[in-house]
Structure 1
Amino acid sequence: MKQIEVKIMQQSYLLSCPEDQETRMLSAVERVDAAMTRIRDAGKVRARERIAVLAALNMAFEIADHETAALAAKEQTDALLAAVATAAPAATHTTPTLSEDDEARVRGLLQRLDETLGDDGRLL
C-alpha cells in the first residue's frame, strides 16, 4: 500500500492507497473537498464534522440516484431485448431488425447508461 498526503478543506490527511489506484483516490479527494467546500461556503454550517456529514449524505443521495437510473435503464434494455427475442421467429437465421422507434429507445438507454456510469465506467 502506498501512502499519499492530501488536503481536504485546507486540512492534511495521510491516506493509504493501493499502488494502482492513486488517480482514483485523488479524484475522490477532489470530490469530497469540493462538496465540503460548497457547504462551508454556503455559510450556514461551520463545524468541520457537520460539513463532512452533510457532504457524505449529499454524495450518498447522488450515488442512489445513479443506481436508480442505472437499474431503470437496465430494466428497459432487458425489456427491449425480450421484445426483440419474442418478435424474431426462432426458426429463421436472419438478423432481427429494430424499428426506428426501438433504435431510438436503445440509443437513449445507452446514452443514459454512459451518463450514469460517468468517465470511469463504474457506478462506484
Structure 2
Amino acid sequence: MKQIEVTIMGQSYILGCPEGGEQSLLEAVGNVDREMSAIRDAGKVKARERIAVLAALNLAFALAERPASPAAVPASTAAAGADEAVDVESLIRRIDQSLANDGQLL
C-alpha cells in the first residue's frame, strides 16, 4: 500500500492508499479540508473535533442526497437492493487503518 502525505486544516497526515487510488483519496482530502476550513472560518466552532464531526455530517448528508449512479454503486450493494445501507463500519475501519500510522484525525 502506498503512503501519501496530505494536509487537512493545516495539519499533516500520512495516509495509506491503494495503488491507483491516489486521485480519489486526494479529492476526498480536498473535500474534507474545504468543509472543515469553512466551518472554522465561520468562527462559531473552535474545537477541531467538533469541526471534524460537523464536516463529516455535512459531507455524509451531501452524499446521501446525491442520486446514486449505476457506476458508483458497488456490485454487492446493487445486487442486494437499493434499500440496503452502505457498510459504514467497514468504511470507518478503513479510515482508522489509514490514520493508524499518524494517530487520529481528531
With the shorter chain as reference, the TM-score category is: 0.5 to 0.7
Counterpart Cα distance in 2 of 1:63 and 1:24: 15
Comparing both chains, which one has the higher relative contact order based on Cα–Cα distances under 8 Å and sequence gaps of 6 or more? Answer: 2
Rg (Cα) greater in structure = 1
Q: Secondary structure at the match of 2:3?
A: strand
Q: Secondary structure at the match of 1:16?
A: strand
1:11-58 deviation line (CA, Å, top 9, x unaligned): 000100001100110010000000000000000001110000000000
The CA RMSD measured in Å over matched residues stands at: 1.7
Residue matched to 1:122: 72
1:35-94 deviation line (CA, Å, top 9, x unaligned): 00000000000111000000000011111111xx44xxxxxxxxxxxxxxxxxxxxxxxx
Residue matched to 1:51: 51
Any stretches of 5+ residues in structure 2 without a counterpart? 75-106
Task: Kindly provide the amino acid, as one letter, of the partner of residue 122 in structure 1.
Answer: A
State how 1:3-82 maps to structure 2 within 5 Å: 3-66=3-66, 69-70=67-68
Structure 1 ranges of 4+ moved more than 3 A: none
State how 1:97-108 maps to structure 2 within 5 Å: none
Greater helix proportion: 1
TM-score, normalization by structure 2: 0.64
Identity fraction in percent: 62
Q: Secondary structure at the match of 2:5?
A: strand
Counterpart Cα distance in 2 of 1:22 and 1:48: 25
* Number of residue equivalences: 73
Counterpart Cα distance in 2 of 1:123 and 1:12: 31
Cα deviation for residue 122 of structure 1 reads 2.8
TM-score, normalization by structure 1: 0.55
Cα deviation for residue 123 of structure 1 reads 6.3
